[in-house]
Amino acid sequence: MKKKIIVTGGTGYIGSHTLIELIKNGEFEPIAVDSCVRSTPETIQRVEAITGVRVKHYQVDICDKNAFFNVFELEKEVVGIIHFAAFKCVPESVEKPLMYYHNNLQSLENVLEACEKFQLQYLIFSSSASIYGDVKELPVTENTPVGIPFCPYAHTKQIGEQMIHFFTQQHPHLQSVILRYFNPVGNDMSGLNGELSPDKPNNLMPIVTQVGIGKMKQLTVFGTDYDTRDGSCIRDYIHVCDIADAHVKALLFLENQKNTSRCETFNLGSGNGVSVLEMIDAFEKVNGIKLNYVLGERRPGDVPAIYSDSTRANQLLGWECRYGINEMVESAWKWEKHLAQEH
Ligand code: NAD
Ligand code: WQD
């Protein structure tokens, strides 16, 4: 029998790609729990079309403890939770801090209570490279000190990690993995599932594809006078399917008792820094289109460069990136064109 895994945020960007990877692996039955506050239930149909497998989805707010616990009453024998559900927009978190503290922390508290009440074995938590803040030394390893939080969003991830550390110390039945993602981009290579970005996205890749398709007029490169190889900022972009795959590997790692502590932390990045101008160049070359962009001022709060040392995940999880920058820009563009055809 397949092992049941609750995937909170399962209709979101990374959650839906993780449903696909879990199904492809074959050992697990993922069950999505997502209120769709930042997504749509139709995503489940996309996942089903890609995998050919029916996926259960409970449209529930995880901050509503009774409704969330009811899922476990209905779904007997759940063994673990992958907890993606959260708000993730940095500027929005600065504008509405309490909304972020409430949603990201109340949901996690309920997830941990569910782990206790239903005696779950595994928890995987979505953390973020944003917890490192303005790093002094590159590449970033898991031992790089956590920085001063630069926004409420990053702060919720720092607090979340600590909550899991303290909780697992008191709950020997639960083994956990914290995954710190760098910059997830790209979509399913089929072009049939992908990120549903807001109308005014903040992140580079959805802006690139929206400018490409004509939804947005122009892309501004935020800063070309940084001390980097071409003056623009450097980030560690990683294909979303590789991020998703790491969650399957993390579950197997716990299942095979390869962990040496009850709470293990891994960076998830490609290990390669790519500049904004290099990303634009790759997008234009791979997809054969010209992007309308201008060189502009620095964006406040941006660090010049950050990229990961992912050796720990490579060695202990047996995980490696399968996709590079070309697949990232190709799949991002494929999905944007698919969305344009749908509407
Ligand atoms: P997303 O917004 O696409 O997905 C999050 C999902 O959670 C959405 O479908 C939303 O409807 C759901 N959700 C939010 N609050 C909920 C609640 N209270 N109850 C039920 N459902 C709720 O975001 P994503 O990019 O897939 O991010 C997933 C996780 O990864 C988040 O925790 C995010 O902080 C983290 N993360 C994302 C990135 C990134 O750049 N995408 C980077 C680092 C970490
Ligand atoms: C990437 C680069 C911009 C838009 C954020 C969060 C982080 C994580 C991922 C959740 C930067 C440049 C962007 C534009 C540009 N999310 N850029 N023009 O800021 O590295 O990370 O998302 O955990 O926590 O902080 O990602 O995609 O916004 O920017 O030149 O119109 O693209 O300056 O160098 P960022 P991003």
Q: What is the pLDDT of residues 42-56, one digit of tens each?
A: 999 999 999 999 999
Query: What is the structure's pLDDT at 199?
Result: 83
Query: What is the structure's pLDDT at 198?
Result: 85
Most informative mutation of 88, 135, 203 for ligand 2 (most atoms within 8 A of CB): 203
Task: Evaluate whether 219 touches 291 at the Cβ level (below 8 Å).
Answer: yes
Find the Cα–Cα–Cα–Cα dihedral 181, 61, 13, 41, rounded to 10°.
170
The candidate with the shortest Cα–Cα distance to 182, out of 123, 216, 227, 135, is: 135
- What pLDDT band is residue 84 in, cutting at 50, 70 and 90? very high
Task: Evaluate whether 148 touches 130 at the Cβ level (below 8 Å).
Answer: no
Q: What is the pTM of this model?
A: 0.98
Q: If you average pLDDT over every residue of the chain, what do you get?
A: 97
* Pair of tokens at residue 238: 């990683």
pLDDT, one tens digit per residue, over 110-158 is: 999 999 999 999 999 999 999 999 898 999 999 999 999 999 999 999 9
Q: What residue owns the CA closest to ligand 1's atom 21?
A: 34
If you average pLDDT over residues 98-106, what whole number do you get?
98
Task: Evaluate whether 93 touches 158 at the Cβ level (below 8 Å).
Answer: no
If you average pLDDT over residues 64-80, what whole number do you get?
97
Distances in Å between the Cα of 310 and the Cα atoms of 40, 263, 323 are 32, 17, 15
* 249 touches ligand 2 (CB under 6 Å): no
The percentage of the chain sitting over the pLDDT mark of 90, rounded to a whole number, equals 98
Q: What residue owns the CA closest to ligand 2's atom 21?
A: 183
Distance 230 CA to ligand 1 centre (A): 32
pLDDT over 80 at 72, yes or no: yes
Distances in Å between the Cα of 262 and the Cα atoms of 167, 173, 242, 287 are 10, 9, 24, 44
Residue-wise burial string across 275-298, b where 16 or more C-beta atoms lie within 10 A, e elsewhere: bbbbbbbbbbebbeeebebeeeee
Q: Which atom of ligand 2 is nearest to the CA of 207?
A: 31
* Pair of tokens at residue 270: 């490609």
Q: What residue owns the CA closest to ligand 1's atom 35?
A: 126
* 39 touches ligand 1 (CB under 6 Å): yes
